[in-house]
A and B are shown apart, each in its own frame.
Chain A
Amino acid sequence: MSRFRKIFNKSFVGLLLLTCLSLSHKSFAADGEALFKSMCANCHKPDKDYTGPALQGWKDRQPDGWIYKWVAAPGALIDPYASALKTKWKASGIMTAFPQLKKDEIDAIMKYVDEYKPPVVVEGPKNSNDKNTDGNSLLFGVLTLVFALIAFILLQVNSNLKKLSDEKIGVYRSEPVPFYKNKTYLMAGVIGLFALGGYFAIDGAIGLGRMQNYQPVQPIYYSHTVHAGTNQISCLYCHGTAQDSKHAGIPSVNVCMNCHKSIAKYEGPDKLEREDGTAVNGTAEIEKLYEYAGWDPIAKEYKADKNNDGVPDGAKPIQWVKIHNLPDHVYFNHSQHIKVGKQQCQTCHGNIQEMGEVYQFSTLSMGWCINCHRESKVDFFNKADSTGNKFYSIYEKFHNDIKNKKLDSVTVEKIGGTECQKCHY
């Protein structure tokens, strides 16, 4: 089985890579695209208004060179156009300054913006290799059954033939017992059933408390497809503490409101529906958010704080249902995996950018953790060219082994990543 899982994993990773590649096919504008996505995309869209105005057509609005001044210090600009902009987008606040962006970088971004065309949503073949593996195991299963049947028939034929030959040479045997009364067959059957029962019992027991595919209904229908998929918001924009803390953290309501102060209606291309196929009204879900945040969408401002508790009246935190639950005796640290291990969120959370409502993608079982620790390579320090994480410079033995070609890479397991007290203490 593990062989198949490996094939599956590999092909899955391959598929992921392909998806990534296909997304970035416009290679000549890649630089601008990357910059746009990391710096601008949280508030701007190339082709339509978002938290900030749509950027396409920027050249026609102001003379050359204005854009550089604006990006470097939007607050400092007081020409009539800038003032008008600020008034129009009052609700979103003044744009963050990016003094670190160089002219050519801004050019690259604007070039990307100009050439941007909204992606055409294509229904790709999903999980095609899933079917393959299923097909294979079914095939093997059927083959096994067929062979078992043939073996059984041959055995019967054999015994009948033997009986006939015995009769011929004059050896008479008692009347044969039918196979369903044959003690050997019965015993074999009982043992088989016992083994099967045992297998399922143990498998079930091991699986107790595991909640793969757990997909609870959340207080607000929040679609990762819309946010992380279509709108390409960086995971760390909302789950920023994943870089610093053991918890990835669910964003506080004010983080949602950074964008949703100006996005009151859902007008995206994706159809929102629940797992059972019922349609979801995106705008109604945004209104729920306003309810929690204490935001008045008509006046476009937070409600007054009359009871002086530091938050708008009526505002309350959202009680999300926790999906990924680890047992209390497990220590897991997001920042370790993201900052040091340089893992992608999708490695454990699956194709989150395609999930309407989030479900638990991985088993989160210990075997699953250990497997990854056995296979993943650490960013080992290379003494020759000083690349890699310098922390690992202290592993003298491995450096020698690599030098002597005894070792080609260092896995997490090598540095103790499968020892009990790495996760249990």
Chain B
Amino acid sequence: MNNKKYWQSFGDLNQTEGFEQSTKNEFKEELLPLADLDDKGLLDVKAPRRDFLKYLGFSTAAAAVAASCDMPVRKSVPYLQRPDNIIPGVANYYASTYINGGDVIPVIVKQRDGRPIKIEGNDLSKLTNGGTSAQAQASVLDLYDTTRLRFPMQKAGADFKEVTSFDNFDKLVGTAISGKPVALLTSTINSPSTQQVINEFLAKYPDSRHVQYDAVSYSGMILANEACYGKKVIPSYHFDNAKVIISLAADFLGTWLSPVEFSSQYAKNRKVVGNKPALSKHIQFESMMSLTGSNADDRYMHKPSETGAVALALLAAVGGSVIAPSLDAKLTAAIKSTAEVLKANAGEGLVVCGSNDVNVQVIVNAINEAIGANGKTINWATTSNYRKGVDADMNSLVSDMNSGAIGAVIIYGVNPAYSYSDSKKFADGLNKVIGVSCNGTMDETTELCKYIIPSNHWLESWGDAEPKTGYVSMLQPTINPLFKTRAFETTLLKWGANAITDYETYFKNFWTTKLGSSDAFNKALQDGVVEAATTTVSGSAFNNSKIAEAATKIAAIKGGSTEVVLYQKISMGNGSQANNPWLQELPDPISKVTWDNYAMMGTEMYKTMYGKDVLKDKGASDAYEVHPEKPVVKITANGKSLELPVLLIPGIQKNTIAVALGYGRQSANAANTAEHIGRAANGAGKNAYPLAGFDGITIQYNGDVKIETTSTLYALAQTQVHGYTESRPVIYETNLKSYIANPGHMLHEVAQERLITTANGSEDFVKDATMYPDFEKPGIKWGMAIDLNTCTGCSACVVACSAENNVSVVGKIQVQRAHEMHWLRIDRYFTGDLENPDVVFQPMLCQHCDNAPCENVCPVVATNHSSEGLNQMTYNRCIGTRYCANNCPYKVRRFNWLDYTGADSFKDNQKPLLGKDMDEVVMQMNEDLTRMVLNPDVTVRSRGVIEKCSFCVQRLQESKLDAKKQQDPTLVRNVKTACMQACPTSAISFGNINDKESDVAKARGDKHRNFYVLEQLHVLPNVSYLAKVRNTERPIGVEEEGHEEKKSEVKKEEKAHV
């Protein structure tokens, strides 16, 4: 068995020649921009010596000119009257709420000198417990988006012209819509005060209505709940009360309903405590590899059309009076064992389903009823308001717009011209009515409207959100509106001729009345959340009359030979943040691809289509994998077709392809995309919404599909094996049963190795296994521990790190050359069954080795070690030899190949590179407006220097200063790195290891799980990992067969060395 145990790519799995070639040189020199000067290498050009002298002369002259310039005169302009609460240079923190189309995350906004620069989770919230998502972290960049609309506008010919004042605009629109039936088309509104504003507005306009539309619909659940419980809402779920979690294609850790809340609940029962831990069991049935599926203890695959059948079979197996449909043997066995676990844990199980089919959701409700989840893990006392849209409402609105039954449509927070499955019909309808857009950017829908009055960004807004009944989160503005924009609610108050015509007053009155006093209101603003002290969990009466009908309908579903499933990525979601470069460049946790969507398929389908087996045939594996260019397929569904590159990922059902939504944003006139929608969104992927079909009741995100090969190729920017650790073992894992039986076994091998390398039988591995001296860390020694059991791979930390540390966006071309700058990456490893592998995520960042290999090789001592255990990187000393990156076994040092930030002394030196070596989007990050997001406490790095994780040293220094001012060393326990703060599952602990009371010291105390990556190199990392324990019966990690063989091989080798 020469296959690798944990592998990142097929080449890695089979150790192919092409793969080895491609990873040999971590700096892909042949792609160096300098070598492209005249399409030849520098040494082959006609007169390299003369050119060299020219460059030398030029650079000397340039340096002389630059140096002899006068020092610029800088101004220091104090306030005229300094506001009491602003101290220049000291950050203020305000509680607010991230809202985006029904998504709600209570947050704390870090504001520096009047600019919001960072989003942090609000620890006071019982929903999220301080967690955030990648999208919430990135949303601060949306505030400074250059494509935001800057003033109210009206259509003038093919273009728009500014309306000079709000008053004029109000008059214009007032005249235009008066006497007409008006429709308000918004995203899910879960703000109580906004809902009241809308109700008051509708009362003033007879025959008007409010339609809530969700780009990705949850109508199936809502309608099923109406049928089963008589309530047209979604209940709240308690994953923390569940010992068994069954997910039928619901990506509840990534994108389903309220992933941050669910991740936080989920992690509670995934933490390994003590020697006999009680872990929840998570079983996933799905067609594609979702983030949630990759975290499951057991995972089974089925065709997308079989979701209903699986649900039905499960209902039959847990005792429902339905007939189980026939499924293949593997699935049947899986359902049988799943049902047994569910039955054994009655009242402590939870089944969730991602399908938008009403019938499937009715069956899922029946299962939850049968296993006693209703009133235990499903709470009807508190209902969810995350999604309220019903597809049929939207469908009839579109018909009414086309038929003329509606005179005007006011649009807020939605973009159906892009995201509606029949977007053409919607666009036609919109052209027939008076369209008024309150969206903040010139998106596809806004382009079609006659009047535009941009709304404020959420960071500029007052407001509230009630994601679950009784859980309110407040919004307060953290900056004055940057542009001439106005709150959507104010607009409605004005047009509805309300007594109060500005939302700020309205909102204050609303909550002062509700909470009883203005003190209570101020307290609510300060805390950010108003929540009930206790949560009551109760069920709701179940009506089983619809089950039989649903079962019949599901039994009648016939799947096609090939099917597509549409999904959302944790980065792009439904596409509303498509112009966010941080999100576009965030590698998808599963596919590791940036800047694109693609047709994700399994190896078996690829074999059928192309006749090549990448798992077994090394040549085929190289041919597919070594180059970024991937074959393109043509996908036809619903009579619409799409051409997308193929991306192979194991663990996708063999008849299924998966395509991500949220990409392919495009203006009506494609040439305008960069200007209207943005440079980051321009050209990123294809729009897959048209592949979704409306079945008369709800929109279906899966369906039959025709897939044809084409002769074209398309390059994807995949970060998968950048930063490759050369087959060295970096992951340790076991299953729960073996862990309880023998907790020491998992890391036994590591302990043995430690003993072997330590000299003279000494047990002090740190001091006696090396010839280097041991340096003391007299005061603080910083360290981090990452729990692989609770890390779900959600990547919120990666974006948080970029935001905190001014990490550059490099663009797609540079990512293809392995030049991405992320200080923190999440390595994804496959293991086990090649068709349906297990997945392990491992956040990889600078390990701050106490015996760091990078430090020894730096010729200018630009990287060295601090007395607090930090591996320091001094940018202004670095001359860019990259020896350090070369010598780093973890491959976490990143080199600034180009001037991504405009930090060089010479202006406009990026321009010649644009298009060929550098994407336009890099310039987007350099706009004055966008640069407002930069953290002023962190240097903006220039070209030619190495950079890497600093453990957020600016935060460490700040916390130490605070502790010194207060004369209390325990205050450094409060410090949180950006990644740790963002984590929804608290997988990261950080602190002073010398302090035995710190969280990290406690985490390190778990001797059976705490390991260091590549410890045998004796680099003494300051980051440790807690090994993964899976709650499964299957042999995992050290328990797996074949591993024993390998171990004996290692031993033999060792003996040979001796």
A residues contacting B by CB (< 8 A) are: 205, 208-209, 211, 216, 241, 244-247, 249-255, 292-293, 311, 315-322, 325, 327-329, 331, 333, 335-336, 339-340, 389-398, 415-416, 419-422, 424-425
Contact = CB atoms under 8 A, between A and B. Distances in A.
B864 interface: yes
Contact of B776 (A209, A250, A339, A397): A397
Contacts of A241: 87-90
A416 B868 contact: yes
A396 to B, nearest CB: 7
B950 A421 contact: yes
B953 A317 contact: no
A37 B79 CA distance: 27
Contact of B76 (A320, A398, A419, A420): A320
Contact of A249 (B88, B870, B953, B968): B88
A25 B220 CA distance: 88
B673 to A, nearest CB: 35
Contact of B876 (A247, A254, A320, A424): A424
A391 B89 contact: no
5 contacts: A252-B82, A317-B78, A397-B776, A419-B864, A420-B872
B89 A254 contact: no
B779 interface: yes
Contacts of B867: 415-416, 419
Contact of B79 (A317, A327, A340, A395): A317
Interface of B: 67, 71, 73-82, 87-90, 776, 778-780, 864, 866-868, 870, 872-877, 937-940, 950, 953-954, 957, 960-961, 963-965, 967-969, 994-995
B206 to A, nearest CB: 39
B89 A253 contact: no
A292 B79 CA distance: 11
**Shortest 9 CB-CB contacts between residues of A and residues of B:** A245-B89, A252-B79, A421-B872, A252-B82, A322-B76, A247-B89, A397-B778, A322-B74, A420-B874
Q: Is the interface of B mostly helix, strand, loop or mixed?
A: loop
Contact of B77 (A315, A318, A336, A394): A318
Nearest to A204: B67
B12 to A, nearest CB: 35
A320 B77 contact: yes
A245 B872 contact: no
Contacts of B74: 321-322, 325
Contact of B90 (A209, A244, A389): A244
Given A395-B779, A425-B950, A340 B88 contact: no
A391 B969 contact: yes
B87 A317 contact: no
A120 B968 CA distance: 47
Nearest to A331: B937
B1035 to A, nearest CB: 45
A330 to B, nearest CB: 9
Contact of A335 (B866, B939, B965): B965
A335 B88 CA distance: 12
B877 A420 contact: yes
A244 to B, nearest CB: 5
A317 B961 contact: no
Contacts of B80: 252-254, 292-293, 311, 315-317
Given A251-B78, A421-B953, A422-B957, 16 more contacts: A249-B89, A252-B79, A253-B78, A254-B82, A293-B80, A311-B80, A320-B75, A327-B876, A390-B968, A392-B969, A398-B778, A416-B779, A416-B866, A420-B877, A421-B870, A422-B866
The CB with the most chain A CB atoms within 10 A, among B89, B870, B938, B950, is that of: B89
A318 B87 CA distance: 18
Contacts of A333: 961
Contacts of B964: 336, 340, 389, 391
Contacts of B872: 419-421
B949 to A, nearest CB: 11
A315 to B, nearest CB: 6
A208 B64 CA distance: 11
A339 B966 CA distance: 10
A91 B770 CA distance: 75
Contact of A420 (B77, B82, B88, B864): B864
A395 B953 contact: no
Contacts of A209: 71
B71 A394 contact: no
Contacts of B957: 331, 422, 425
Nearest to B942: A329
Contacts of A424: 874-876, 939
Contact of A318 (B78, B90, B866): B78
Contacts of A325: 71, 74
A340 B965 contact: yes
Given A398-B778, A419-B867, A424-B876, A317 B77 contact: yes
A392 B938 CA distance: 27
Contacts of B866: 416, 419-422
Nearest to B960: A391
Given A331-B937, A424-B876, A425-B939, A253 B81 contact: yes
B950 A245 contact: no
Contacts of A254: 80-82
A329 B876 contact: yes
B77 A390 contact: no
A244 B84 CA distance: 13
A321 B868 contact: no
A246 to B, nearest CB: 4
Contacts of B876: 327, 329, 424
Given A318-B77, A320-B75, A325-B74, A391 B776 contact: no
Nearest to A398: B778
Given A246-B89, A419-B866, A419-B872, A391 B963 contact: yes
B48 to A, nearest CB: 29
A216 B967 CA distance: 40
A390 B953 contact: no
Given A336-B961, A389-B967, A419-B867, A395 B778 contact: yes
B191 to A, nearest CB: 30
The CB with the most chain B CB atoms within 10 A, among A241, A253, A325, A391, is that of: A391
A397 to B, nearest CB: 4
A403 to B, nearest CB: 14
B938 A335 contact: no
B560 to A, nearest CB: 56
A138 B432 CA distance: 93
Contact of A321 (B75, B87, B875, B953): B75
A222 B868 CA distance: 44
The CB with the most chain A CB atoms within 10 A, among B90, B950, B995, is that of: B90
A209 B70 CA distance: 9
A71 B76 CA distance: 38
Contacts of A421: 866, 870, 872-874, 950, 953
A241 B85 CA distance: 12
A339 B961 CA distance: 10
A321 B73 contact: yes
Nearest to B865: A419
A397 B775 CA distance: 12
A394 B779 CA distance: 6
Contacts of A252: 78-82
Nearest to A401: B778
B961 A390 contact: no
Nearest to A381: B967
A320 B961 CA distance: 29
Given A253-B81, A416-B868, A245 B87 contact: yes
A163 to B, nearest CB: 49
A289 B87 CA distance: 23
Contact of A311 (B78, B81, B778, B995): B81
B73 A391 contact: no
B939 A329 contact: yes
A293 B81 CA distance: 9
Given A422-B957, A424-B875, A391 B864 contact: no
Contacts of B994: 394
